Structure 1
Amino acid sequence: MDIKGVSAIVTGAASGIGAAVARQLAAQGATVVVADVQDEKGTALAEEIGGVFCHVDVTDTEQIKAAVEVAKERGELRALVNSAGVGWAARTTGREGTYEAAHDLDLYKKVIDINLVGTFDAIRLAATAMGHNQADENGERGAIVNLASVAAFDGQIGQAAYASSKGGIVGLTLPVARDLSAIGVRVNTVAPGLIDTPIYGQGEKAEEFKTHLGQSVLFPKRLGQPDELASMVVECVTNSYMNASVIRVDGGIRMPPK
């Protein structure tokens, strides 16, 4: 699918993997709507790549709709990348053995609401807009790529909420792709492994920690780079025969329990 001259939305685009995806889509000629809650970083990135920033909290349906409308004003919306997400570590039960010490249920719900429900809300709204596009020579009107995680398959101790949310994204890939085949919209999911993003912090100790983590990767023994992950996302957007697939980009890692 040719994305030159069309518009694309990337949620969670102000930093990390989302920012790398936004830059690569823009490099191929798309006008990117940088959708994020980080106003300053998002605005700076949009200016850098010739896109537009929209403040989007993916738990707010109206804000997602607004981003879709902004995208439509700048060309046919033909690509959506769902990169927004959060993750907190908490064990299912507490050491104290009390009900109060068990995993905070509101925290669990919040992770699901942002990572899973937010992803599906963006899909259903963006796909509705894509359905009005003129079909290309392949009958294609758009492409959607979701970001899951290897935690969907190898969830570690303390990752009940995060792994549940990412497993849900994996699980919706095929049925949503089947739904949207009727309007010529493809759906794929990319599951990153250990990617070098700001989540690990900065400084000497952070670099030592990342080097240590990299030793658990099969090969190459390092953390992945955001651009390496973003290139697979862009391939899923542009390759018209990529559909209904979940792809691990992880250097072959299989996460241990902790």
Structure 2
Amino acid sequence: MNVDGACALITGGASGLGLATARRLAAAGMTVAIVDLPQSVGAEVAAELGGIFIPTDVTSATQVRDAVSMTVARGPIRVVVNCAGIAPPAKVLGRDGSPNSLEDFERVIGINLIGTYNVISQTASAMIENEPGEDSDRGLIVNTASVAAFEGQIGQPAYAASKGGVHAMMLPIARELARFGIRVMTIAPGTMETPMLLGLPLAAQESLGQQVPYPSRLGRADEYAALVMHLVENGYLNAETIRLDGAIRMAGR
């Protein structure tokens, strides 16, 4: 893919996996559009990388449409990376046996799954207008699932369902967008050095890392970013979910 003069739109781009990806794609010469919540440090990140910050709620069709328009004003969107997501733990039943909040379940599905779909649909609509490159390539969309899509733990029904949905919708979307020269890929990270995990005590972080067969540590955000960069460069990768997990298979709890 020729990324000269092109833009990369990254949701959740102000921290964690999204931030590492923004830095990697900016270093490759792309203009990065940091799409994140208004209270994030997205403005500072965009200034650092020479990109733009667009405060956006990914569950809003209007806000995402505006973010796409603002990005296209800077150049064609060739790469989209969906990193926005939440992972609050919640079981089906509370301690007293009563059902837990349906609204909490809906919020996770709304951000992680519906938000990802919203960004895919809005950006794909813009990407089909791109000038085709080699192999009629017009762009790449990378979604973020999780190993929880396949081995969700107790307390993860909403998170596992949302990430399983991200994995499941990839193939039909990739098949639909193939005629436009748009590839769709998914990365399923394991236990990564995200802000959430790095907020745990060091002993807890080390314990989680030791559960990974090899290398026995938490995954690094720049390893996720490096995989995104490889997907940009390898035009024959399409409609696949790649686990980035050090061979971990999650236990029940």
Task: Please state which band the TM-score falls in when normalised by the shorter chain.
Answer: over 0.9
AA of the residue aligned to 1:80:
V
Distance 1:170 1:156 in 2: 17
| Residues 210-249 of structure 1 aligned to structure 2 (within 5 Å) | 210-249=205-244
| Residues 125-164 of structure 1 aligned to structure 2 (within 5 Å) | 125-164=122-161
Say whether the 8 Å CA contact 1:116–1:166 is kept in structure 2: yes
Q: Tell me the equivalent position of 1:24.
A: 24
Q: Tell me the equivalent position of 1:43.
A: 43
| Residues 89-168 of structure 1 aligned to structure 2 (within 5 Å) | 89-97=89-97, 101-168=98-165
Q: Any gaps of 5 or more consecutive residues in structure 1?
A: none
AA of the residue aligned to 1:113:
G
Say whether the 8 Å CA contact 1:14–1:38 is kept in structure 2: no
AA of the residue aligned to 1:8:
A
Distance 2:202 2:222 in 1: 19
Identity %: 46
Cα-Cα RMSD: 1.1
Shift of 1:40: 4.8
Q: Any gaps of 5 or more consecutive residues in structure 2?
A: none
Query: How far does the alpha carbon of each residue in 1:14-68 deviate from its partner, in whole angstroms, 9 at most, with x for none?
Result: 1000000000010111100000004451001001111000001101111111111
Q: Tell me the equivalent position of 1:86.
A: 86
Count of residues in correspondence between the two structures: 253
Q: Tell me the equivalent position of 1:200.
A: 197
Q: Tell me the equivalent position of 1:56.
A: 56
Q: 1:138 to 1:164 in 2, by over 3 A?
A: same
AA of the residue aligned to 1:218:
P
Shift of 1:88: 1.1
Distance 1:53 1:155 in 2: 33
Find runs of 4+ consecutive structure 1 residues off by over 4 angstroms: none
Q: Mean Cα displacement is larger for which, 222-231 or 31-40?
A: 31-40
AA of the residue aligned to 1:118:
G
Say whether the 8 Å CA contact 1:195–1:223 is kept in structure 2: yes
Shift of 1:2: 2.1
Say whether the 8 Å CA contact 2:2–2:133 is kept in structure 1: no
Distance 2:70 2:95 in 1: 49
Shift of 1:141: 0.6
Distance 1:40 1:157 in 2: 30
Distance 1:142 1:39 in 2: 30
Q: Helix, strand or coil: the match of 2:236?
A: coil
Distance 2:39 2:179 in 1: 36
Q: Mean Cα displacement is larger for which, 229-238 or 179-188?
A: 229-238
Q: Helix, strand or coil: the match of 1:138?
A: helix
Query: How far does the alpha carbon of each residue in 1:49-97 deviate from its partner, in whole angstroms, 9 at most, with x for none?
Result: 1100000110111111111111111111111100000111111122322
Say whether the 8 Å CA contact 1:145–1:237 is kept in structure 2: no
Distance 2:180 2:139 in 1: 9
Distance 1:41 1:95 in 2: 37
Q: Tell me the equivalent position of 1:209.
A: 204
Q: Does 2:177 align with 1:180?
A: yes
Shift of 1:219: 0.4
AA of the residue aligned to 2:134:
E
TM-score normalised to structure 2 length: 0.97
